[in-house]
């Protein structure tokens, strides 16, 4: 019984931890005052759809990265397994492929800062290259 209590406490604490951390959605855009809503960010990462007149290139961190878990929970609002099954459906029906994935933050930021229109997410308070701007903040 104690084992289960411990298990649930760990589970609970990990959820609380996720709830307290934030992510920034960052993009390589020339317009420094540019921003997106939460709904727009979600649509960009799930269906490349946005009403804004920018062509974006969404990129993600690989599963297992903490910032990805926070982004999934707070912005996509779907569990990782549901996101994976969604992309399987899109790929094998010829509709879309998922955003390009990077194993670590440095590789992700390198790509964003060297690619026009690239957009990704990083843990809040990450030091950003000069040409990368914050377009959405989640707390």
Strands of 100-102's sheet, edge to edge? 100-102, 57-61, 118-123, 23-27, 133-138
Our CB check for other proteins shows the closer of 32 and 81 to be: 81
Should residue 129 be labelled a site residue for other proteins when binding is judged by CB under 8 A? no
Residues 1-20 that bind other proteins (CB under 8 A): 11
End-to-end CA distance of the chain: 35
Should residue 47 be labelled a site residue for other proteins when binding is judged by CB under 8 A? yes
Cβ contact 120:106 at 8 Å: no
Q: Where are the beta strands (DSSP E) in 2-90?
A: 23-27, 57-61
Minimum Å gap between C-beta 15 and other proteins is 10
Should residue 108 be labelled a site residue for other proteins when binding is judged by CB under 8 A? no
Should residue 110 be labelled a site residue for other proteins when binding is judged by CB under 8 A? no
Cβ contact 50:43 at 8 Å: yes
Our CB check for other proteins shows the closer of 86 and 113 to be: 86
Binding site for other proteins (CB under 8 A): 11, 37, 39-40, 42-43, 47-51, 55, 63, 72-73, 77-82, 84-86, 88-89, 91-95
């Amino acid at each position: 019984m104690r084992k289960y209590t411990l298990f649930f406490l760990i589970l609970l604490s990990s959820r609380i931890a996720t709830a307290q951390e934030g992510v920034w959605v960052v993009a390589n855009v020339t317009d420094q005052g540019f921003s997106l809503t939460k709904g727009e960010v979600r649509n960009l990462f799930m269906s490349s759809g946005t009403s804004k007149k920018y062509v974006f290139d969404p990129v993600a961190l690989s599963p297992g990265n903490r910032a990805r878990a926070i982004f999934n929970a707070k912005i996509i609002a779907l569990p990782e397994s549901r996101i994976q099954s969604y992309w399987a459906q899109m790929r094998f029906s010829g509709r879309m492929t998922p955003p390009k994935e990077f194993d670590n933050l440095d590789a992700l930021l390198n790509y964003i800062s060297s690619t026009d229109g690239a957009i990704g997410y990083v843990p809040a308070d990450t030091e950003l290259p000069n040409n990368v701007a914050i377009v959405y903040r989640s707390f």
